[in-house]
Amino acid sequence: MKASRSSLALPPTIARKRDGGALTDGEIRAVIEGAARGTIPDYQLAALLMAIVWRGLTNRELVTWTRAMVDSGERLEWSTLPGPTVDKHSTGGVGDKISLCLAPLCAAAGLYVPMMAGRALGHTGGTLDKLETIPGFRTALSPAEFRRVLTRAGFVLAGQSARLAPADRVLYALRDATATVESIPLIASSILSKKIAEGTAALVMDVKVGSGAFLPSRAQARALATALIDLGKRLGLRVRAVLSDMDQPLGAAIGNAVEVREAIEVLRGGGPADVRALTVRLGAEMLVLGGRAPDLRAGTRRIEAVIASGAGLERLRLGVRLQGGDVRAIDDPDRLPRARHVQVLAAPRDGVVTHVDAGALGRAATLLGVGRLRKEDRIAPGAAILLAAKAGTRVGRGDPLCTLHYDDGARARAAKPLVQGAFRIGSAAGRARPLVLETLG
């Protein structure tokens, strides 16, 4: 790539950060502008990102970095809406379909939810890939379309627009390709720049903890939550963080179409207990943060009432229709894609399931085609792992532990050992971990 004036000035900036120095506000703004405009070579940006992974960013640097990311594109504004804007973001997990039922429930309860979601990469699922199993559903919306859907449905589930925080799109792709993802300042800036650009006034963060989480340890998750809350405060964004368990998958369905089905079950008043419980809890947190409930108890009652009335399901129908989706798939989920083959994996002996490794099942699901190892990989919309047993379930030899749903036999053979190794069977159940570990902010 031909060097530009901005790229010629970057090596001293990289060297200063590499050596532990702080970048000036001007340098940071030049880096972000160059990333958005494509005037800085990828190799120089990658080198700077690695230096930041090693040396970190000061509070001043992080605030300037995030503001510059927001300023690299358009910023949506919702002051004319008749209600508060509150979003939710998850750090990613296995079987995490909460956004699919949470957004329409909160919209029906009086919030506006401008949710920009992401795609699967690695072992964690992608909300956009799940939504796109609904025939016709469009996740690529212009700012005008984003506004129209949000105004009419009260929520929108869409991908990141090329005009909102465009520098983040460039830097995120580079971080993923250069092993520079695991930097708390860069993670926090990436998340909050998009949320501020989309115009939300408050954010509930679902920070996952456990084997299936992006940051497995509770200490790492708490550090990220604290960074997000502090950065949000400095930028005028109210942030509440919930640390939730991801040591075993959430719900019984791991996949794309199957997770849409499970979310619909929750909106119909059923679904797995853990999916429903976390949906209700995060919804209550959002209502409190948005001033639509005085406390969590009242927020919980409100979300449960919206489920019971069917208003959340009706909002989902409206949102799907406005984004071009076939609403018949919501009324009849059998219209959603299914894999051609099913294989049952059985318990090898009698006992109690003591642990189900979410990370191993997430990696196995990726091999089946649920997720991507590379950005260019194609998703298999019907591929799935459906759990028949979770931690605490008593099983007999030959009882089903789960079923694999797949189109490609070679993929299934590669995934099978990971799935078999994910289930531990003992003589007695261990102590159950709470679904919500703690809240901050």
* Structure confidence by residue, pLDDT tens digits, 301-312: 999 999 999 999
190, 193, 211, 244: the catalytic one is: 190
Amino acid making up residue 51: A
Active site residue 147: no
194, 195, 240, 302: the catalytic one is: 194
96, 168, 245, 247: the catalytic one is: 168
Within 8 A by CB and 6+ apart from 35, the residues are 45, 72, 167, 170, 171
What pLDDT was estimated at residue 181?
A: 82
Q: Which fold has domain 5-56?
A: 1.20.970
Active site residue 405: no
- CA distances to 137, 150, 307, 311, 333 from 328, in Å: 12, 21, 20, 17, 8
What pLDDT was estimated at residue 4?
A: 43
**pLDDT tens digits for range 9-29:** 688 999 999 999 999 999 999
Active site residue 89: yes
Question: Which regions in the chain score pLDDT beneath 50?
Answer: 1-8
Active site residue 5: no
CB 143 within 8 A of CB 77: no
What pLDDT was estimated at residue 182?
A: 80
Active site residue 194: yes
**pLDDT tens digits for range 139-188:** 999 889 999 999 999 999 998 877 888 999 899 888 877 888 889 999 99
Distance CA 102, CA 267 (A): 9
17, 119, 169, 175: the catalytic one is: 175
**What CATH number does the domain located at 86-333 have?**
3.40.1030.10
| Strand order, beta sheet including 423-426 | 394-395, 351-356, 423-426
Q: Enter the pTM of the model.
A: 0.93
What pLDDT was estimated at residue 121?
A: 62
CATH architecture designation of domain 337-426: Alpha-Beta Complex (3.90)
**Would you kindly state where each structural domain of the chain is located, as residue ranges?**
5-56, 86-333, 337-426
